[in-house]
Structure 1
Amino acid sequence: MSGEARFLAVDLGAESGRVFLGRFDGGRVSLEELHRFPNVPVRVADGLHWDVLRLFGETERGLGRAAGRGVRSVGVDAWGVDFALLDREGALVSNPYHYRDARTAGMMEEAGRRVPREEIYRITGIQFIPLNTLYQLLAMEGSPLLEASDRLLMIPDLFAYWLCGERLCEHTAATTTQLYAAGGGWARALIRRMGLPERLFGEVVRPGTRLGGLLPGVREDTGLGEAEVVAVATHDTASAVAAVPARGRDFAYISSGTWSLVGVETERPVISEEGLRYNFTNEGGFGGTNRLLKNVMGLWLLQECRRVWAREGREYGYGELARLAAEAPPFGPLVDPDWEGFLPPGDMPGRIRRFCERTGQRPPESVGEVVRCIFESLALKYRWVIERAERVSGVRAGVVHVVGGGARNGLLCRLTAEAARRPVLAGPDEATVLGNVLVQAHAAGMLGGLGEIREVVRASVPAEVYEPEEADEGWEEAYGRLCGLVGLPSGELAEGGLV
């Protein structure tokens, strides 16, 4: 390509981190993976942590592989809710905690005692889930670590700071904290009422903001020279949704990976009693959009099953697991993927079996039956979320766009089309990286708004279409069973040691 612009995208996920080189010629974009590295949490005496120093070292190694290739800028995206604390000198106070750490147990209830649940939702529009930043900070109340801290940065903001020296928070990541006002800006009155230090919450910038050049040490380590850092849509789901190849707004999206983020796009936050009842969240998107969605546990269930089977000496690739699931009988036992007992790491196959036993279902026995149970449960839960998102928002989702790694799972996409009774358009599988790169192109003045970004995605990556076949009564019966399982209180299932 002549006259192409080159951008580096750092994408940090719950399982791995990647560095990509994106080439943009004004009409199409192509991606080249330069480096991939595992992201493995570390459990020590005080809890479960992210090893961010190693992750940053791997990030620099990946950036260095683009030295001498005329890179204009670098953007970092990562998962939401988790954060780093810095002291007044800008030093890291401690390794950030992992959102699956158990210290947040009981913190949602504690927050509700300080500020009523309805008021928290009215202010922030964010769903109630134990891993939110709010509850992680409440769990640190009285900690010397919190007392020594001067600034909170979300994980992608921390990496941007280490790259260019700017201690700023980006809007889309900040909205995941449940401490950010739905109308914009930190919810400072809520922060005070929660008893949290206001000093932690600094300046917030919008996606597409140019932050400045690389620090001298980073330039030396990577050889990138004059490249600058751009605050992209740093929450990875915000980048992924920016790269949904949709036309108009009449669509639902599923950003499918460890988590499945399922929802619709709106012009502004949608905060209502119905939204609170269904526990929908409102998170910031690129171009001033709002992402009305729910977090569904996603392929985490399969990842944990695979890890347990590997520990038992049974190694399965994802392709083989999909084949075994396709061969298993349809419409078997179901689980609610969002049951809180599935959140921590552990014996996921055993938890699934016990969930089924406690709800009067025959447990899945073979590996294929377990995977089929996960896939059908996810497909039906996606339908449950999409229908309620339509009801809450008024958006009619004529199609479902599946992006992210789950777009490569043909069986899950087909089951989703059948369960949801609407077409599924799968791809791009690297939507987060595409969104990251194209927001950098926007910051460079090469693209206008969201519509132009999505036009480039459509021109660059064809989507695979899964049309629902003729209505099958089996799906309706299964959907009725899934609806009966959604939201079962943990007390009804925990007897006998389910967790």
Structure 2
Amino acid sequence: MPTFAAVDLGASSGRVMLGRVDSGPADSGLVELTELHRFPTGARPRPGGGFRWDIDEILAETIEGLRLAEQAAPVSIGLDSWAVDYGLIGADGELDGDVRSYRDPRTDGMADVLRERIDDRSLYGITGLQHLPFTTIYQLLAEPPERLKDHTLLLVPDLLAYLLTGERGAEVTNASTTGLLDATSRTWSAEVLSRSGIPAGLLPKLRQPGEPAGRFSSTPIITVASHDTASAVAAIPATGDSFGYICCGTWSLAGLRLDAPVLTEEARAANFTNESGVDGTVRFLRNTMGLWLLSESLRTWNADLAPLLSAASAEPAFAAVIDPDDEALLAPGDIPARIAGQCRRTGQPVPATRAGMVRVILESLALAHAATLQAAAELSGRELSTVHLVGGGARNELLCRFTAEACGLPVLAGPVEASAVGNILVQARAAGIHARPEPPFARYEPSGDRSPWIAAARRSGVRLG
């Protein structure tokens, strides 16, 4: 069977996957995944403060995985990763300085700096992006101006492709997360660049999913949907327009797949984003904090997840409801202590046990999922019948069950490695090979009584129902 290699980098871990595609008739073509190499990618403290990515180590681990993949003689290689972060390539062709993490506090106050140059409504009307304090445009405004001269900006997957091949470019789905791309034309926005003071020469030529991006050894690298969420959405096993999706990992990205951006004032006020997808589609979604809250809590406790999930299912429901997008929860550290602080500030009891804390996190995430999908449907004029939950969160049965109850809709879970599957699907299509997403592995039906969830949402100020 034709074989493809996918480099799929998340903000906590990376993996190199081998995907074999059954290139049979239209009712086959499923991707069979094999994990070859997995490694940590997490942001690290930076001398002098803040956080950075160890790109040298990530590159070395990626190459190690690709050397293993070479034994299977893959047709091509594709790379995807998290969004917004970048490296700057100097005039000498070398990476200049650190690749800073979006969790680095250097962007504090940069939104106000940009508002002095272009107001929020005008910016949204061009880029269609929700306000996130770490978006690339804010990171660039935090740079010393001299660093933006005679340099080329490469987002993380484009940077790795450059370090592997020597060829530069900017893949459009990831470029759409920067705050510098026109959501309608899917080109770099001359107006935003001019008004923000960011030099146009900083940005490389845009590339589309499916285009070649050089070679590693003798194997072609194919541009895929290099934003991992765009790849994950491409892997959703659904057709039609009556489904919502949740790409659930470190972040939860919940929304709809549309044919055109929604650039209304109502969408801006609701903080929805319009990011580019495969085949000219739009990912109309809102970011909310995801399983980062759980993984950081486990790291703080030095605890295993499975027994805590089992115990959490028996904890009292809705002991407290938190805002998962509280900026106090963004940086690495003692998340349970920060959640406890939020509970005290909002007059709610602090969970007395770790299992109770886990239940509060998962119920709050499920409420955020439901509220986001409800708002997306209203803003776009869609009516939803199902929800597809893909990514690592698909393994979390309690979260899937809570999400079905909160949404009042069936939740179809899987694939878990959605970004890698979508990565391989784009490569296969570029090679002229038919392939399709794998079916979901589990279905969670709501009980039919949403009233406890609606009441909990009302307590926390979230509109639901």
> What is the TM-score normalised by the length of structure 2?
0.96
Paired position in structure 2 for 1:495? none
Paired position in structure 2 for 1:72? 75
- Cα offset for 1:281? 0.3
| Aligned-pair Cα RMSD in Å | 1.4
Write the distance in 1 (CA, Å) between the matches of 2:125 and 2:103.
26
The runs of 5 or more residues in structure 1 that have no matched partner are 220-225, 311-315, 448-452, 487-499
| CA deviation string 1:454-492 (max 9, x = no partner) | xx21xx344311000131532221121233599xxxxxx
Q: Which amino acid aligns with 1:329?
A: P
- Cα offset for 1:105? 0.3
Q: 1:308 to 1:232 in 2, by over 3 A?
A: same
- Cα offset for 1:159? 1.0
Write the distance in 2 (CA, Å) between the matches of 1:70 and 1:344.
41
Q: Is it true that 1:270 corresponds to 2:273 in the alignment?
A: no
Paired position in structure 2 for 1:93? 96
Paired position in structure 1 for 2:138? 135
| CA deviation string 1:83-122 (max 9, x = no partner) | 1110123210112100000100000111111111110100
| CA deviation string 1:355-380 (max 9, x = no partner) | 11111111111001100000000101
Instruction: Write the mapping of 1:409-428 to structure 2, written as runs, cut at 5 A.
Output: 409-428=396-415
Q: Is it true that 1:8 corresponds to 2:5 in the alignment?
A: yes
Partner-residue secondary structure (3-state), 1:370? helix
Q: Is it true that 1:34 corresponds to 2:45 in the alignment?
A: no
Partner-residue secondary structure (3-state), 2:177? helix
Write the distance in 2 (CA, Å) between the matches of 1:396 and 1:39.
38
Partner-residue secondary structure (3-state), 1:71? coil
Q: Are 2:237 and 2:440, in contact at CA under 8 Å, matched by a contact in 1?
A: no
Counterpart selection for 2:317 from 325, 330, 336 = 330
Paired position in structure 2 for 1:470? 448
The runs of 5 or more residues in structure 2 that have no matched partner are 24-28
Partner-residue secondary structure (3-state), 2:176? helix
> What is the TM-score normalised by the length of structure 1?
0.89
Q: Are 1:115 and 1:194, in contact at CA under 8 Å, matched by a contact in 2?
A: yes
Write the distance in 2 (CA, Å) between the matches of 1:388 and 1:259.
18
| CA deviation string 1:162-181 (max 9, x = no partner) | 22221000000000001111
Partner-residue secondary structure (3-state), 1:329? coil
Q: Is it true that 1:339 corresponds to 2:326 in the alignment?
A: yes
Q: Which portions of structure 1, spanning 4 or more consecutive aligned residues, are displaced by more than 6 angstroms?
A: none
Write the distance in 2 (CA, Å) between the matches of 1:442 and 1:97.
34
Paired position in structure 1 for 2:425? 438
- Cα offset for 1:146? 3.0
Paired position in structure 1 for 2:53? 50
Q: Which amino acid aligns with 1:405?
A: G
Paired position in structure 2 for 1:222? none
Paired position in structure 1 for 2:459? 481
| CA deviation string 1:123-152 (max 9, x = no partner) | 10001111100000001143x4334x4211
Q: Is it true that 1:169 corresponds to 2:170 in the alignment?
A: yes
Moved more, 92-101 or 34-43: 34-43
Q: Is it true that 1:233 corresponds to 2:225 in the alignment?
A: yes
Q: 1:485 to 1:94 in 2, by over 3 A?
A: farther
Q: Which amino acid aligns with 1:208?
A: G
Q: Are 1:384 and 1:483, in contact at CA under 8 Å, matched by a contact in 2?
A: no
Give percent identity, aligned residues only.
46
Partner-residue secondary structure (3-state), 1:245? coil
Q: Are 1:407 and 1:429, in contact at CA under 8 Å, matched by a contact in 2?
A: yes
Write the distance in 2 (CA, Å) between the matches of 1:102 and 1:331.
32
Q: Are 1:239 and 1:431, in contact at CA under 8 Å, matched by a contact in 2?
A: yes
Write the distance in 2 (CA, Å) between the matches of 1:123 and 1:189.
9
Paired position in structure 1 for 2:26? none
| CA deviation string 1:375-398 (max 9, x = no partner) | 000101111101110111112121
Q: Which amino acid aligns with 1:19?
A: V
Counterpart selection for 2:197 from 195, 198, 206 = 195
Moved more, 290-299 or 356-365: 356-365
Write the distance in 1 (CA, Å) between the matches of 2:450 and 2:440.
29
Write the distance in 2 (CA, Å) between the matches of 1:482 and 1:290.
30
